[in-house]
Amino acid sequence: MTSYIIRRFLQGIPLLLIISVILFALMMSTGDPVATMGGRRVTRASDYERLKRQLGLDKPIYTQYLYWLVGNTWTKVDVDGDGITDTPGTRLGILRGDFGNSLVNRKPVMQVIGERIPNTLILMLSGELIVILGALIVGVYSALRQYSLLDHTVTALSFIGYSMPIFFIALLLMFVFAVLFKRWGLPYLPTVGMFDPQVGKSVGQVLYHMVLPVVSMSVVSLASYSRYIRSTMLDVLNQDYIRTARSKGLSNRTVIFVHALKNASLPIATIVGLDLPFLLGGAVVTERIFAWPGMGRLFLDHVSRADTPVVMGILMLVAVAVVVFQIITDVIYAWLDPRIRYD
Amino acid sequence: MPEKSTKIAILTPDELETPPLSLTQLAWRRFKRHRPAMIGLVVLSLLVIYALGGSIFLSEKFANFNDTSQRLLTPTIDHPFGTDSIGRDVLARTIYGGQISLLIGLTAVVVETILGILVGALAGFYGGIVDNILMRITEAMLNIPEIFLLIVMAKYFGGKIPELDLFGRTFSGSVVVIVLIIGLTSWMYLARIVRAQFLSLKENEFVLAARATGTPNIDIIFRHILPNSVAPIVVSATLGVANAILAEAYISFLGLGVQPPTATWGNMLDGANNYLESAPWLWFFPGLLILLTVLSINFLGDGLRDALDPRSRTV
Amino acid sequence: MSRKPIFYALFAILIIASLVLSGCGGGKANVATLIFTQEFDNLAPLYSSMWFVWTTWQMFDHWAWEFDQNNEPFPRLVTEIPSVENGGVREGGRIITMHLRDDIKWSDNVPMTADDFIFTWEMAVSPQNTVATTYPYDMIESVEAPDPQTVVVTFIEPFAPWLANLWHGILPAHILRPVYDAEGTIDNADWLKNPSVGCGPYNFVEWESGSFARFVRNENYWGAPAKIDEIFIRFVPDDASQVAALKAGDADMGTFISYSDVPALQDAGLNIVIEPSGYDEFMFFLVNEEKGHPALLDVRVRRAIALAIDRDGINQDLHYGLTKTPTSFWDALPYYNDPPLQPYPYDPQEANRLLDEAGWIDSNGNGIRDKDGIELEISHATTIREDRQDVQAVIKQDLEEVGIKLDVNPVDDTLYFASYADNGPAARGEFDIQEWSDGPLFPDPDIYYWLCDQIPTDENPTGENWFYICDEELDRLIKLQSTQVDPVERRDTISQINQLFYEKVYIIGMWQDPDVYAVGSHLQNVKFSGVTMFYNIAEWELTR
């Protein structure tokens, strides 16, 4: 098993390198971060040249990639613009843990991202929890009552659920719970931000602001997960061992929860495990609509300013998380299912 | 015939001579039994008629005609869906926008199907190092969340293609860009499916026979193995259209998709939350149309999957 | 099956509890909440050109002299504005002498001296600092302090725009110099991210990325203490949330209000304040024989375009009549906009007549004029912003009615403003008409875009004349005005430039682009400046 894990880690490295190359090439060509540093007017020519040099943007793209990867302490850079490279560089590169500084606000990328990760995790983990619980409930129920009216209604709703773009759901929810409720004088839900700054970042505030974004995000995943659980449960319920269990006289509840669900939860665990790292992407669209200060909004804001270090930092973080979680999922899968052997 | 019927069942000539049903006919029969799929087919046809037929009644000039003094009117007889922020009729824009959205959906799927088949077939058939490299690239692309890729690519390609004039109508160049980037970010799923098909089929006897008679590899791939893997490709392509329409909606909502004045259902939703309260008709109708289209395609795809490949149980 | 109701119950309790706990977020007694629609990238003077950052500097830092609501300068850190009469301005604007007030201290009780000014200049021009702009500090030969309360600035050459451009914020030398000496740069100094020591009426306290920033009254302020205890700045992503917060009374001021929201806000009892900021939206023509459409070389075609667009209609309908068509590049500087010009009226018939006279007629019946086999198809580019895209569609239709086909190109702004060296499309002259919001170096009337030597080429890739216009008379006049320190002479020169722009139709004014604020009825005494926006923030009062 250990050798399998090590092998998978080693396989992950060239994968991450390929990803970083593709993304870096794309990012560097998406626009000029210095072009908009002039505020409301075009950046002055002399400042433009100087800023490009100081931020290392005047080098060819492969040199920039190299500096991003391994830093530039082993070479000299031209700091004062006289054309002579005389000062040793100070960047360590991503392989040594230095994600660089944001081009927009000169703060270290890790600090910029680190400020936002907890906010995204709060949103996504609660969403995932609701989705899993909800999907289990809905999926099991409709599997047990296959072809009943409930099953058909739930199936139809699930289809509708994952056919809607998230922002449409969000807009509808905002319209009903914020606009209409307010018009009718009912207590209404907030639609902006994570908390009211004057009241402070209390648990109550965050929960209150979390309701609409989490529900908007959950609908789509809930719909597709519940269908998946339903079909898995149906598969399991048709197995011989279930029939044996029933014929042994076990109560319905024992059969379903002890035997069926445990076996059905295996593929579910896989799906959850593979989906979790994508949570770091932070539901870009939802955060944008609800102004939630998370990583998705950070990504959008900084992509529009062509801030390569921050964007690459976020993307690589997600890619690493995906690779790591794939390995963890495989390991857990093997541990849960004694039939699986890796060598 | 004798008046007394015998007790032994006799096969009538009709039953003896009925030819067995072909695969397509069998599939169609199974499809017809799937009620949601039939509903989906009907709704989708209605939507296509709405988008294409509507242009007979309302000209494109009308759809683009702006009169700033008529901006943001609530739905009336003159403008059944209201007007937008510069006075264009929303109904007409949903018609022409629908044409573009559906066009983007279909052409993006063409791009991603071609890419997916190429990569999957080559990887599955040749195996070895070709397979390794191609699969690494596929995995790399899969490991990045699609929306991130879409945003970054949209910024990369954005603005680089000028306006096009096709069939007497002007399209913003961003339509081509969107088709390209949706195609470039969705081929991976199909590639994996095709590769799995090739891996299992290439050991079959008909392939060995083809090799034995000296058929060139290209022919084996495209004339022998590929036709046998049509079922999952068709299903994947159908669901891919739904995914492409959704992807276009997402990216246009973020403002990076098709640029005005060319209308699509997605970019009519751009900035919609600014008009959440004041002009809900601006976002409600395009959103509803997207929902109906994607829903019916999903139903259709579900039915196709049951009809063509009843053994597959993947979601 | 009995587990499920438990889940439901828990969830319900959670929701109810949070609804009860949160209460309604309302205004605390003496705390004002401002809304910014963009988050600042950093707060340090010299390090940002963002409007949203500049606005905050009057809160915790000061300029040497600031500008009031009529954009007239008044002394702040100095005892009086240097002028020729009081000996502050010598050698035709080359040497500026400033006398500092002797009662200014930083919020940690360290007095401000001329050393802070010298340090600010040194940091601006130091190649180790990635400051946003070195202008105008790179034009200075030396900054000296004959005594701790006097600063003498010597420019390399007489510099007419010194009043508007010098000393936009002072850095505290006693805090940052040790950092500079230790690290060789102040880029990573903590003060840049947390400027807790300042010399303004408020102190910076905290900034939660993505959510808000908080300022508290500076009890050590050297001037009259501020009346409001705390100021919150909330960041919201778009106009709709800003409007909702203002209408609900959750915030006391909104910034950059879009015109379509003005009626709703006024109905809700807010005061809308419009402050000219020097910016107006213009369409700039590219007039060059090698690049651009040959039709644009003919002034009659350019004039026809100006006549064919209903700009008053755009201002009335899309901007609710809150803006007017600017007549000149100096529309926000009435002193220099003298005599004031009238904008070209909306006259499509005259436009048609001019185009016919210029020889552009529709010979092939496709609805577009042509001449010598070239179709009158012009490319127009602007950035991706909803209001600009709306206007592009309107203009396209207006021009179609006189037989001109407009190719619209909305381009993302980081791509649009990319430089010549980076193949920025505007810089490379790929568009016949460029549109963006610009103005002179407000409140100074200086301009430099149309100089012949600013045309970008491979040898001169940093040229800023993206219109590729080389007009000798214009060139001479622009160069002349930047050397004239006497305001009367300068005004005459600028009037001549204005007249030239008008007659040759090098620019078409679309609409004024002032700062638009929404001020809640509880917030009193608020005045805005177009340059130093919150200049009287210490006098603001809350009546609730």
B-chain residue closest to C383, CA distance: B159
Taking residues B201-208, report their average pLDDT: 81
Partner-chain residue, chosen from C314, C386, C408, that has the shortest CB–CB distance to B261? C408
* C-alpha distance from C180 to closest chain B C-alpha (Å): 37
A-chain residue closest to C35, CA distance: A197
Tell me which chain A residues have a C-beta less than 8 angstroms from the C-beta of B291.
160, 163-165, 168
B275 at interface of A, judged by CB pairs closer than 8 A: no
Partner-chain residue, chosen from A165, A231, A284, that has the shortest CB–CB distance to B313? A231
Q: Which of A339-343, B150-154, C5-9 has the highest mean pLDDT?
A: B150-154
* Secondary structure (H, E, C), chain A: CHHHHHHHHHHHHHHHHHHHHHHHHHHHCCCCHHHHCCCCCCCCHHHHHHHHHHCCCCCCHHHHHHHHHHCCCCCEECCCCCCCCCEECCCCCHHHCCCCECCCCCCEHHHHHHHHHHHHHHHHHHHHHHHHHHHHHHHHHHHHCCCCHHHHHHHHHHHHHHHCCHHHHHHHHHHHHHHHHHHCCCCCCCCCCCCCCCCCCCHHHHHHHHHHHHHHHHHHHHHHHHHHHHHHHHHHHCCHHHHHHHHCCCCHHHHHHHHHHHHHHHHHHHHHHHHHHHHHHCCHHHHHHHCCCCHHHHHHHHHHCCCHHHHHHHHHHHHHHHHHHHHHHHHHHHHHCCCCCCC
Return all residues near A307 (Cβ < 8 A) that are at least 6 apart.
Answer: A33, A102, A103, A104
Is it the case that residue B315 has pLDDT exceeding 50? no
- CA angle in degrees (0–180, nearest 5) for B89-B40-B191: 100
- CA angle in degrees (0–180, nearest 5) for C410-C414-C420: 95
Best of A61, A164, A176 to disrupt the B interface by mutation (most B CBs within 10 Å)?
A164
Alpha-carbon distance of C69 to C532, in angstroms, equals 9
Query: Where do the structural domains in chain A lie, given as residue ranges?
Result: 32-108, 110-336
CB distance A303–B152 less than 8 Å? yes
What is residue C118's predicted lDDT score, i.e. its pLDDT? 92
Which of A313, A296, A329, A306 is CA-nearest to residue A167?
A296
What is residue C246's predicted lDDT score, i.e. its pLDDT? 86
Alpha-carbon distance of A121 to C63, in angstroms, equals 42
Return all residues near A267 (Cβ < 8 A) that are at least 6 apart.
Answer: A228, A232
Alpha-carbon distance of C408 to B151, in angstroms, equals 22
Residue C319 is classified by DSSP as: S
Alpha-carbon distance of C216 to C235, in angstroms, equals 18
3-class secondary structure, C226: coil
* Secondary structure (H, E, C), chain B: CCCCCCCCCCCCHHHHHCCCCCHHHHHHHHHHHCHHHHHHHHHHHHHHHHHHHHHHHCCHHHHHCCCHHHCCCCCCCCCCCCECCCCCEHHHHHHHHHHHHHHHHHHHHHHHHHHHHHHHHHHHHHCHHHHHHHHHHHHHHHCCCHHHHHHHHHHHHCCCCCCEEECCEEECCHHHHHHHHHHHHHHHHHHHHHHHHHHHHCCCHHHHHHHHCCCCHHHHHHHHHHHHCHHHHHHHHHHHHHHHHHHHHHHHHCCCCCCCCCCCCCHHHCCHHHHCCCCCHHHHHHHHHHHHHHHHHHHHHHHHHHHHCCCCCCC
A188 at interface of B, judged by CB pairs closer than 8 A: no
* C-alpha distance from A79 to closest chain C C-alpha (Å): 6
HSE value, Cβ hemisphere, 13 Å, CA-based, for C326: 29
Partner-chain residue, chosen from C26, C42, C133, that has the shortest CB–CB distance to A47? C133
What is residue C309's predicted lDDT score, i.e. its pLDDT? 92
Residue type, A277: P
The alpha carbon of B297 is separated from its chain's Cα centroid by a whole number of angstroms, namely 8
Tell me which chain B residues have a C-beta less than 8 angstroms from the C-beta of C408.
163, 172, 261
Backbone angles phi, psi at A203, to 5 degrees: -60, -45
Tell me which chain A residues have a C-beta less than 8 angstroms from the C-beta of C231.
none
Partner-chain residue, chosen from A36, A133, A192, that has the shortest CB–CB distance to C245? A192
Question: Please, is B127 exposed, middle or buried when counting C-beta atoms within 10 Å of its C-beta (0-12, 13-18, 19+)?
Answer: middle
Which residue would you say has higher pLDDT here, A231 or A315?
Answer: A315
CB distance B290–A231 less than 8 Å? no
B62 at interface of C, judged by CB pairs closer than 8 A: no
Partner-chain residue, chosen from A45, A198, A202, that has the shortest CB–CB distance to C21? A202
CB distance A323–B143 less than 8 Å? yes
The alpha carbon of C452 is separated from its chain's Cα centroid by a whole number of angstroms, namely 25
Alpha-carbon distance of C329 to C513, in angstroms, equals 12
Residues pairing with B89 in the sheet: B83
What is residue A189's predicted lDDT score, i.e. its pLDDT? 79
Is it the case that residue B263 has pLDDT exceeding 90? no
Alpha-carbon distance of B208 to B224, in angstroms, equals 11
Residue B166: CB atoms within 10 Å: 8
Alpha-carbon distance of C110 to C104, in angstroms, equals 9
What share of chain B in percent tops pLDDT 70? 88
What is residue B51's predicted lDDT score, i.e. its pLDDT? 87
Residues pairing with C32 in the sheet: C231
| Tokens (6 digits) for A215 | 């529900």
Is it the case that residue B88 has pLDDT exceeding 70? yes
Q: Which residue has the tokens 């869906």?
A: B81
Is it the case that residue A272 has pLDDT exceeding 70? yes
Task: Render pLDDT for A11-45 as a digit per residue (tens, 0 to 9).
Answer: 888 888 888 888 888 887 777 788 777 777 777 77
| Tokens (6 digits) for C177 | 């110099």
Q: What is the CATH number of domain A110-336?
A: 1.10.3720.10
Residue C537 is classified by DSSP as: G
Mode of pairing for the β-strands spanning C523-524 and C541-542:
antiparallel
* C-alpha distance from A305 to closest chain B C-alpha (Å): 11
Residue C105 is classified by DSSP as: B
Is it the case that residue A140 has pLDDT exceeding 90? no
Backbone angles phi, psi at B236, to 5 degrees: -65, -40
> Chain A window 28-87: which residues touch B at a Cβ cutoff of 8 Å?
29-31
| Tokens (6 digits) for C2 | 């009995």
Return all residues near C505 (Cβ < 8 A) that are at least 6 apart.
Answer: C285, C299, C302, C303, C305, C306, C344
Partner-chain residue, chosen from A15, A164, A311, that has the shortest CB–CB distance to B139? A15
**Is there a cis peptide before residue A197, judged by omega within 30 degrees of 0?**
no
Task: Render pLDDT for A232-250 as a digit per residue (tens, 0 to 9).
Answer: 887 777 778 888 888 888 7
Partner-chain residue, chosen from A163, A281, A323, that has the shortest CB–CB distance to B148? A281
Are A191 and A185 within 8 A, CB to CB? no
* ipTM topping 0.95: no
What is residue B136's predicted lDDT score, i.e. its pLDDT? 83
| Tokens (6 digits) for B126 | 């040749």
Residues of chain C below pLDDT 50? 1-2, 18-27
Alpha-carbon distance of B87 to B68, in angstroms, equals 5
HSE value, Cβ hemisphere, 13 Å, CA-based, for B142: 17
Alpha-carbon distance of C296 to B228, in angstroms, equals 61
User: How confident is residue A257, by pLDDT bands cut at 50, 70 and 90?
Assistant: confident
Task: Render pLDDT for C469-478 as a digit per residue (tens, 0 to 9).
Answer: 998 999 999 8
What is residue C462's predicted lDDT score, i.e. its pLDDT? 78
- Torsion over CA of A321, A323, A328 and A334, rounded to 10 degrees? 160
* C-alpha distance from B66 to closest chain A C-alpha (Å): 26
Alpha-carbon distance of C56 to C43, in angstroms, equals 8
Q: Which residue has the tokens 């269908």?
A: A227
Best of A159, A235, A312 to disrupt the B interface by mutation (most B CBs within 10 Å)?
A159
What share of chain A in percent tops pLDDT 70? 95
Buried b / exposed e along A115-151 (16+ C-beta atoms within 10 A): bbbebbebbbebbbebbbebbbbbbbbbbbeeeeeeb
| E strand or H helix at C290 | none
User: How confident is residue B311, by pLDDT bands cut at 50, 70 and 90?
Assistant: low
Best of B39, B134, B144 to disrupt the A interface by mutation (most A CBs within 10 Å)?
B144
Which of C256, C247, C262 is CA-nearest to residue C275?
C256
Best of B129, B149, B150, B155 to disrupt the A interface by mutation (most A CBs within 10 Å)?
B155
Taking residues B47-71, report their average pLDDT: 80
Residue C421 is classified by DSSP as: T
Is it the case that residue B15 has pLDDT exceeding 70? no
B188 at interface of A, judged by CB pairs closer than 8 A: no
What is residue C2's predicted lDDT score, i.e. its pLDDT? 47
> What is chain A's mean pLDDT, rounded?
81
> What is chain B's mean pLDDT, rounded?
81
What is residue C23's predicted lDDT score, i.e. its pLDDT? 42
Are B272 and C240 within 8 A, CB to CB? no
| Tokens (6 digits) for C304 | 């026809």
Are C536 and C525 within 8 A, CB to CB? yes
B86 at interface of A, judged by CB pairs closer than 8 A: no
Buried b / exposed e along C375-407 (16+ C-beta atoms within 10 A): bbbbbbbbbbebbbbbbbbbbbbbbbebbbbbb
